[in-house]
Amino acid sequence: MRTLVTGGGGFLGTHVVARLQAEGIDPIVARRRQYDLTRWDDTERLFADAKPELVLHLAAEVGGIGANRDNPGRYWYSNLMMGAHVIEQSRLHGVDKLVVLGTVCAYPKFAPVPFNEDDLWNGYPEETNAPYGVAKKSLLVGAQGYREQYGLNAIFLLPVNLYGPRDNFHPTNAHVIPDLIRKMSDAQALGEREVVLWGDGSPTREFLYVDDATEGIVLAALRYDRPEPVNLGTGEEISIKDLAELIGEATGFEGEIVWDTTKPNGQPRRKLDTTRAKELFGFEAQTPFREGIARTVAWYREHAAAYAGR
Domain membership of residue 140 (yes or no) is yes
What 3 state SS string does 195-228 have? EEEECCCCCEECEEEHHHHHHHHHHHHHHCCCCC
**pLDDT at residue 150, rounded to an integer:** 98
Contacts of 226 (CB under 8 A, 6+ apart): 155, 280
**pLDDT at residue 145, rounded to an integer:** 98
Contacts of 242 (CB under 8 A, 6+ apart): none
Stated pTM of the model: 0.94
State whether 101 and 219 are in the same domain: yes
Nearest-angstrom CA–CA distance, 217 and 107: 20
Catalytic residues: 132
pLDDT band of residue 30 (cuts 50, 70, 90) is: very high
| Tens digit of each residue's pLDDT (9 = 90 or more) over 98-144 | 999 999 999 999 999 999 999 999 999 999 999 999 999 999 999 99
Average pLDDT, the chain: 95
- Structural domains in the chain (count): 2
Sign of CA dihedral 110, 112, 115, 121: negative
State whether 145 and 199 are in the same domain: no
What's the rounded mean pLDDT across residues 184-201?
Answer: 94
**pLDDT at residue 194, rounded to an integer:** 95
What's the rounded mean pLDDT across residues 82-89?
Answer: 98
Domain membership of residue 58 (yes or no) is yes
State whether 62 and 35 are in the same domain: yes
Spatial contact of 216 and 277, defined as CB atoms under 8 Å apart: yes
| Tens digit of each residue's pLDDT (9 = 90 or more) over 227-263 | 999 999 999 999 999 999 999 999 999 999 999 999 9
CATH of the domain at 127: 3.40.50.720
Contacts of 186 (CB under 8 A, 6+ apart): 192, 304
State whether 117 and 183 are in the same domain: no
CATH of the domain at 189: 3.90.25.10
State whether 91 and 185 are in the same domain: no
Nearest-angstrom CA–CA distance, 8 and 40: 19
Spatial contact of 84 and 6, defined as CB atoms under 8 Å apart: no
Angle between helical axes of 210-223 and 11-22 (0-180°, round to 10) = 60
State whether 121 and 250 are in the same domain: no
Nearest-angstrom CA–CA distance, 187 and 168: 18
Domain membership of residue 282 (yes or no) is no
State whether 217 and 92 are in the same domain: yes
What's the rounded mean pLDDT across residues 141-170?
Answer: 97
Strands 154-159 and 161-163, bridge-based pairing: unpaired
Residue 291 pLDDT more than 50?
Answer: yes
Spatial contact of 58 and 16, defined as CB atoms under 8 Å apart: yes
Domain membership of residue 277 (yes or no) is no
Summarize the chain as % helix, strand, coil (round to 5): 45, 15, 35
State whether 220 and 252 are in the same domain: no
**pLDDT at residue 309, rounded to an integer:** 47
State whether 85 and 119 are in the same domain: yes
State whether 119 and 188 are in the same domain: no
Domain membership of residue 303 (yes or no) is yes
pLDDT band of residue 308 (cuts 50, 70, 90) is: low
Domain membership of residue 280 (yes or no) is no
Spatial contact of 112 and 119, defined as CB atoms under 8 Å apart: yes
Residue 213 pLDDT more than 50?
Answer: yes
What's the rounded mean pLDDT across residues 175-204?
Answer: 94
State whether 158 and 187 are in the same domain: no
Domain membership of residue 183 (yes or no) is yes
**pLDDT at residue 81, rounded to an integer:** 98
**pLDDT at residue 51, rounded to an integer:** 97
State whether 83 and 138 are in the same domain: yes
Domain membership of residue 274 (yes or no) is no
Domain that holds residue 73: 3-163+207-232
Q: How many CB atoms lie within 10 A of CB 141?
A: 11
Nearest-angstrom CA–CA distance, 2 and 96: 10
**pLDDT at residue 307, rounded to an integer:** 62
